[in-house]
Each structure stands twice: as C-alpha cells, then as structure tokens.
Amino acid sequence: MKAIVYTEYGSPDVLHIEERTKPAPKDNEILIRNHATTVNFGDLMGRNFKAISPRKFNMPLFFWLPARLAFGFSKPRNPVLGSEFAGEVEAVGKAVTRFKPGDQVFGYLGQSMGAYAEYFCMPENGVVAIKPANLTYEEAAVLPYGAIMALSLLRKANIQPGQKVLINGASGGIGSAAVQIARHLGAEVIGVCGTPGLNLVKSLGAVKVIDYTKEDFTQNGETYDVIFDILGRSSFSRSQNSLNQNGRYLLASFKTTQLLQMLWTSMTGSKKVICAIAPGSLEDLISVNELIEEGKIKAVIDRCYLMEQAAEAHRYVEEGHKKGNVVITLTSKLISNSPGNPAVFGL
C-alpha cells in the first residue's frame, strides 16, 4: 500500500510517498481502506515540531515537553501523519462486534495519527462511526476534527438560545463548524475572519461577519455573551468590555497566563475565562454524526489534493488562510475538484 511518509522534521518537502506493508487487524481492530484525509493544525505541528520552540508553542509551557516527546524528540516517532479519515472497513478482527467488512466509516485518530495511508488499523472502540450516507468520503473526512473540537469546546460555554456568540477565527476548520453548531444551539452568531472568508461565514449562518483586517471587534461597542477565540489572537483584558455580565471568554489556544486568568475569574467577577482542550471522543463523534444527519452541520471544503500533492497541500495550509478544510484524497483520481479550484461543498 501507499502512504505519505516523513522521516525527519521539516518543510512540506519532507513528505513523500512510500510503499509500506498493508497492516492486518488485531482481534479488537478494524482494517480501513482509507479514501480521504485532511491537512489540519495537528499535521503541520507534527510535521515540523522541531521548529516549534516553547515560545512558539500555543499551549502552556508544561505541555511542550510531553508533546515533543509524543511526536518524537529529534525525529518523528510515527512517520505517517493524518488525524481525520473516511473510508471503508475491509476486514475486522475476531473480537470486533461494532463493524463488518463493507461498512463506510469516518473518524478521528487524534495525536496517534496514521491516516495519511491507503490502509490503517484502529481499535473498534476508537473514535470511528458509520459515515453519514449523505456525505462523500471527502466531506466526511473534514468533519471529525473541526466539528468535534467546536462541539466539545462550545459545550464548556453553556450557550443558551438567544445568546450572542462571537467566534474569532470563524472561517477555519474549527470556526466553520463552530458557527454552525452555535447557530444550531440557538445563538445569534457573529463571526470574525479575514476578507476572503466573509461570504463563507455568512453562508454558514452568522448574522454578521467582522473583517479583522478592517475592524477590531473589541473596539466597536458591541457586547456578547460568549467570545470564542480559536487562535487566541485577542486577549481577555482587551475583550472584557465586549462581554456582557456573566459573559464567557472561551479559548481554544491558550498559555499559562490565560490558565491563571481562568483560575482568577473562577473565583472573582462575573466574566469568566474558560481554557479548554478537546481530546476527541467517540461520544462527540456520534453527536457530530447526528448533527450531520439532521442537516445542522455541513462540510466546508476549500481544496482537494491527490496524495502525491501532499507537500503542496501542506504548503497551502501553512499559509494560514484556508477556508474550512483541505482534503487529501487517497483514491487514484480527484473525485470532486482540483487544487487551485477552490470549492465549498454542501453549501
């Protein structure tokens, strides 16, 4: 089988195609013929963790060493990246009861990665579920990361119908799902992103979209019940006046300072900082699956690349302005669209 492999940290050029032995499932595992995977934040970080110094790391310092050890200190421990997938179960281990050969599935491998391969095995009780029938493999592959993260993190803010929710970073992988999920929860959603993403975010259900290149949301006099900052580009001190009484300032990227703010605001004042990590669980994937089937969340795909174009796909995502998600298709031809021809499916 073919896999996109990297054996040293570095630029997108470290990614190359290699022939590898097709794995066989253990008793509790399923073998997946993978059709589509993605390039997201974790893949970029894993590909070049050597370049991420403790200062550049966008999590508290004490997570840096465990993360570096998990990815591999001087070279990658796992040569195959890829956390999201959609494919077909080809074989199952003797003890497997949830799946059978032929089932179409999608899911999330998290930091253990391995989805940049035509085949891989995973435990049947991992973050994997039957793919919604109304989605293509590409569409299904882009939903686990963004939607699981968005759902899990937004739960921490306890959004109530009618509340005003601002999502800073609304056109990205997590943001595009967060806009849809917050709206499904009955919130009035205001998105923040750069100029190219404005129409996309509006089409996902935001009542208003602020272009961060033209306007600072902390300075326009508007207030919100929840501010969800995905990249952590704002700050609590600047955003406080934009929060209503009992407002929550929710962060997906945070440092030790914000953790201390969370501790402090949990004891004093009515406006709270919430720093949260979403590890990704099967329960969350099942909830995402239900939202997809109810038509509440749609896949947002910016570009699709062939597996031979993995380096190009990484280069594009590394520019930092993808809209929604970028797919790598592991079948031999592009089913949906070609690189350079951005498309948003499901809208």
List residues binding ligand NAP (CB under 6 A).
40-41, 58, 149, 168-175, 192-194, 196-197, 212, 230-231, 233, 252-253, 276-278, 320-322
Parallel/antiparallel/unpaired status of strands 301-306 and 325-329: parallel
Nearer to ligand NAP, 213 or 245 (CB): 213
Nearer to ligand NAP, 86 or 91 (CB): 86
CB of 344 to ligand NAP, least distance (A): 14
CB of 234 to ligand NAP, least distance (A): 7
CB of 7 to ligand NAP, least distance (A): 25
DSSP string, 260-329: HHHHHHHHSSS-EEEE------HHHHHHHHHHHHTTS----EEEEEEGGGHHHHHHHHHTT--SSEEEEE
**Nearest residue to ligand NAP, by Cβ distance, number only:** 172
CB of 77 to ligand NAP, least distance (A): 20
> Which residue type is seen at 290?
E
**Token pair in block for residue 69:** 């050890």
Rg, Å, the chain Cα set: 20
Nearer to ligand NAP, 157 or 170 (CB): 170
CB of 21 to ligand NAP, least distance (A): 31
Measured CA to CA, the distance from residue 170 to residue 341 in angstroms comes to 22
Specify whether the CB–CB gap between 230 and 175 falls below 8 A: yes
CB of 149 to ligand NAP, least distance (A): 5
Nearer to ligand NAP, 108 or 119 (CB): 108
Nearer to ligand NAP, 137 or 145 (CB): 145
Give how far Cα 139 sits from Cα of 71, 222, 324, Å.
Answer: 28, 35, 11
Nearer to ligand NAP, 69 or 277 (CB): 277
CB of 210 to ligand NAP, least distance (A): 9
Specify whether the CB–CB gap between 299 and 326 falls below 8 A: no
DSSP designation for 24? -
Specify whether the CB–CB gap between 123 and 108 falls below 8 A: no
Closest CA to 203 of 97, 110, 294, 300: 300
CB of 41 to ligand NAP, least distance (A): 4
DSSP string, 99-151: --TT-EEEEE-GGG---SBSEEEEETTSEEEEPPTTS-HHHHHTHHHHHHHHH
Nearer to ligand NAP, 39 or 92 (CB): 39
CB of 20 to ligand NAP, least distance (A): 27
Nearer to ligand NAP, 25 or 46 (CB): 46
Specify whether the CB–CB gap between 118 and 3 falls below 8 A: yes
Give how far Cα 170 sits from Cα of 161, 229, 295, Å.
Answer: 19, 9, 19
Nearer to ligand NAP, 168 or 258 (CB): 168
